[in-house]
Structure 1
Amino acid sequence: MLTANSQFVSKAEQFRFSSNPDGTISLKAEANGRYVAADADSFATLRASRTTIGPAEKFHRVSVADAGRSFKAKVNNRYVVAESGGRASLIANRTVVGLWESFILG
């Protein structure tokens, strides 16, 4: 499960972006070499658990006017959020973008 709980970027917090032919992006975890999936059967909790890219491993990069960056899960069309100040697991369950739905992409 992905949790935004670190103040430093180590291998466990690094992901590679890949552009998909349909205009979506996918995230591959450096730590285990697996793709991040938003599983619809677990309320869209994000996990770096898949070896191939399917619908649950595709995200839309969303342009936001507040200088942050957000992700929208293709599987449920909801925004990814880091609740509890990043202490909870990342989950794609929001319909609008706010502070906790914004990420820094490096």
Structure 2
Amino acid sequence: MAHGSVSGRASIRQDTGVSATAAAQQAAARDAADRAASEHLRRAMAEANRRLAQKASELTFEFDEGTQRVIVKLIDTRTREVLRQIPSEEALAIARALQDDVAAGALLRADA
């Protein structure tokens, strides 16, 4: 009987060793994937910065009081032309109109 329990302990140690090895390999694979993702992000940021520098562009951030939204604009530094705006002027106009409609509806309900 004692022989069986020793064999059982050896089996447990062996299984644990395999699990620990597999866990270490998985952790190493995750670390490698994280490093690759970080490097990819660094390259993408460098490329974006390079392209912005070539195009002589700048990003500006504004706050629209009417809609309570942050507006991001990509502006050509030579011409001051807005190349891209998020959200667009159209989207801001819709948001303002919706807010006005909601405010008007609240006033109508208050008068009733």
Larger helix share, 1 or 2: 2
Larger strand share, 1 or 2: 1
Structure whose alpha-carbon radius of gyration is higher: 2
TM-score higher than 0.5 here? no
Instruction: Normalising by structure 2, report the TM-score.
Output: 0.28
Using CA pairs below 8 Å that are at least 6 residues apart, which structure has the higher relative contact order? Answer: 1
